[in-house]
Chain A
Amino acid sequence: MNLNLKAPISTIIAIGVGVFILSGYFIPLFPELRTSLLTTAMLLVGFALFMGVINLSLVHLDKIRQGSKTALYSFLLIISMFITFVTTILQGPDGFLPNWLFSNIQIPVETSLMAVLTVSLAFATVRLLTRRLNLFSIIFVFSAMLILLGSGPIFGFQIPFIGDTIRPYLSQILAGAGARGILLGIGLGTVATGLRILMGADRPFGG
């Protein structure tokens, strides 16, 4: 008899633990159990991080095996990951080589990506009126201009009214209010999604 118990068991566990943790925020019962469950969750998340690394390795190894056109980059990734792993195991996270690899490779790479993002955003802002010409696009560009003008001295000159009045008003009141409203909506959506999971109507864990 082939019984697929995976789905109902996982659902029961997910719903039960979720309800218990949620109720613990409102009704302080069994704090030790709640702490224990949270600790277990953190352990699983840490292990999931390790599983993510393994998954990443498997994907790139598969690319190397299939001989895709990006196999060289996959090979470099695997090699880099291996070297970093070995050095960190040997010297610890505070060791010389791990810090050197991190400080001289990872940080510059990611910083460069951020710089590319800056250029891309500037370019996207320039072409925004071409791609999507409407009132909101114009307001968007205009607001961005004001914030930039009030963020610091422009070629050494501080624009008086924009810097101390308009920019604070835009960023702290208009943008802040809008952001707060968006956050409220996101919060409601978060609660709704969580409740769907607790009700069993939404099972992102498969099965």
Chain B
Amino acid sequence: MEMDITGLGLVLSFFGLIVGFSFINRRRSGANLREIPAFSRLRNAIELAVEDGTRLHISIGRGDITGPQSTAAFVGLSMLKRITTVASDSDNPPIATAGDGALALLAQDTLRSTYQSLGALNNYDITQGRAAGLTPFSFAAGTLPIISDEDVSANILVGSFGTEIGLITTTGGHRQTLSLAGTDNIPAQAILYATADEQLIGEELYAGGAYVGAGPMHIASLHAQDIMRWALIAIIIIRAFGELLTAL
């Protein structure tokens, strides 16, 4: 029960911080976020893709929507929505891939609603959102032809990926395409450091929505995350020193 109260308190405080920052940020000008080179390069990649009529490939991973890995996929969906809004008038519209059936349906729904909001529902094709594979390596294997054959200029891999992400980013490097990836899987993050052009380590993945302008709540939650992180750091240090002192 004690743990339950702690958890409930943590959730409620998080909620309050998000709401508070949402009001505070209204008075501020600008997002007041630190520079993340990956998102800067993402912006350029989107612009270049729209200019030269190449395709953007957005993959939201294979995370189960019933598990914690789904949040990474949700961040990928938010970025998919924003990127599609920007690149909708490109000659080759963006393609979204997923390693899970439910995520594939969500990707299709996001694309359709984005085109509908833009009034360009005619440009939407159901094959723009697809399940590339239902197992990790089959998902990677299904993604490789998209990178090779569909004139992709940039790969935005934001979601829950395993070690199979190395295949995707390696292929993207061979095709001289930009690979920007972020995952909640730590071994995959290590692979991304060696193989991807731009990688999102740790919480940078969850800041994707704020950096692509998905909404003010994304920025508010990012600020709340910062507060909570420092609070956790403080708690850990205090408890660690307490345990050390107790042990001594």
B69 and chain A: residue at smallest CB distance: A190
Name the residue on A nearest B60 (C-beta).
A204
Tell me if A207 is interfacial: C-beta within 8 Å of chain B: yes
Q: In the complex, what residue of chain A is closest to B224 when comparing beta carbons? A: A192
Residue of A nearest to B134 (CB): A52
A90 within 8 A of B: no
Q: Nearest-CB distance from A121 to chain B (Å)?
A: 6
Q: Is B54 an interface residue (CB 8 A)?
A: no
User: Which residues of B, 202-248, contact A by the 8 Å Cβ criterion?
Assistant: 202-203, 205-207, 209, 214-215, 217-218, 221-222, 224-225, 228-229, 232
Q: Is A202 an interface residue (CB 8 A)?
A: yes
Could you say which residues of chain A place their CB within 8 Å of the CB of B75? 189, 193
Decide yes or no whether B55 CB sits under 8 A from chain A: no
Question: 8 Å CB contacts to B: which residues of A167-186?
Answer: 179, 181-186
Q: Which residues of A contact B100 (CB under 8 A)?
A: 48-49, 52
Is B53 close to A, CB under 8 A?
Answer: no
Chain B positions 175-199 with a Cβ under 8 Å from a chain A Cβ: 184, 186, 189, 191, 193-195
Binding-face segment, A93-101, A108-116, A151-159:
A108-116
CA of A158 to CA of B101, assembled, Å: 46
- Please tell me if A53 contacts chain B, counting CB pairs below 8 Å: yes
Contacting pair A62 B127 (CB below 8 A): yes
Interface residues on A, range: 35 or more
Contact of B186 among A179, A194, A201, A204 (CB under 8 A): A179
Contact in complex: A51, B105 (CB < 8 Å)? yes
**Bound-state Cα–Cα, A113 to B138, Å:** 9
With A and B bound together, what is the CA distance between A149 and B193 in angstroms? Answer: 21
List 17 A–B pairs whose Cβ atoms lie within 8 Å, in order of A's numbering.
A27-B4, A48-B102, A49-B100, A55-B129, A56-B142, A110-B137, A179-B186, A184-B229, A185-B225, A186-B203, A189-B225, A190-B71, A190-B72, A192-B14, A193-B71, A193-B206, A195-B221
Interface residue? B131 (CB, 8 A): yes
User: Do A196 and B221 contact each other (CB < 8 Å), given the known contacts A45-B64, A128-B194, A190-B68?
Assistant: yes
A interface residues with partner B (beta carbon < 8 Å): 22, 25-27, 41-42, 44-45, 48-53, 55-56, 58-59, 62, 68-70, 73, 109-110, 113-114, 116-117, 120-121, 123-125, 128, 140, 179, 181-197, 199, 201-202, 204-207
Task: Flag the segment in B26-34, B38-46, B86-94, B160-168 that touches A.
Answer: B160-168
Contacts of B78 in A (CB 8 A): 202, 204
Contact residues of A: prevailing secondary structure: helix
Residues of A contacting B217 in the complex (Cβ-Cβ under 8 angstroms): 196, 199, 201-202
Bound-state CA distance A123–B194 (Å) is 9
- Give residues in B with beta carbon < 8 Å to A: 4-5, 7-8, 10-11, 14-15, 18-19, 64-66, 68, 71-75, 77-78, 98, 100-102, 104-106, 108-110, 112-113, 126-127, 129-135, 137-138, 140-142, 145, 149, 163-164, 166-167, 170, 173, 184, 186, 189, 191, 193-195, 201-203, 205-207, 209, 214-215, 217-218, 221-222, 224-225, 228-229, 232
Nearest CB of A to B157, in Å:
15
Q: Please pick, from B68, B141, B145, B205, the residue contacting A113 in the complex, using a CB distance under 8 A.
A: B141
Chain B residues, CB < 8 A from A56: 130-134, 142
Q: Which residues of B contact A204 (CB under 8 A)?
A: 73-74, 77-78, 106, 110
A64 to B7, CA, bound (A): 52
For B137, give its contact among A44, A68, A113, A199 (CB under 8 Å). A113
Contact, CB under 8 Å: A195 / B18: yes
Contact B101 A124, beta carbon cutoff 8 Å: no
Partner of B66, one of A42, A199, A201, A206: A42
A188 to B17, CA, bound (A): 13
Known interface pairs A117-B167, A204-B106; A52-B71 also in contact (CB < 8 Å): no
How long is the Cα–Cα vector from A53 to B215 in the complex, in angstroms?
33
List chain A residues, Cβ under 8 A from B127.
Answer: 58-59, 62
- Point out the residues of chain A lying under 8 angstroms from B202, CB to CB: 181-182, 185-186
Task: Chain B residues near A42: list those with CB within 8 A.
Answer: 66
Taking CB atoms, residues of chain B closer than 8 Å to A179 are: 186
Nearest Cβ on chain B to A126's Cβ, whole angstroms: 10
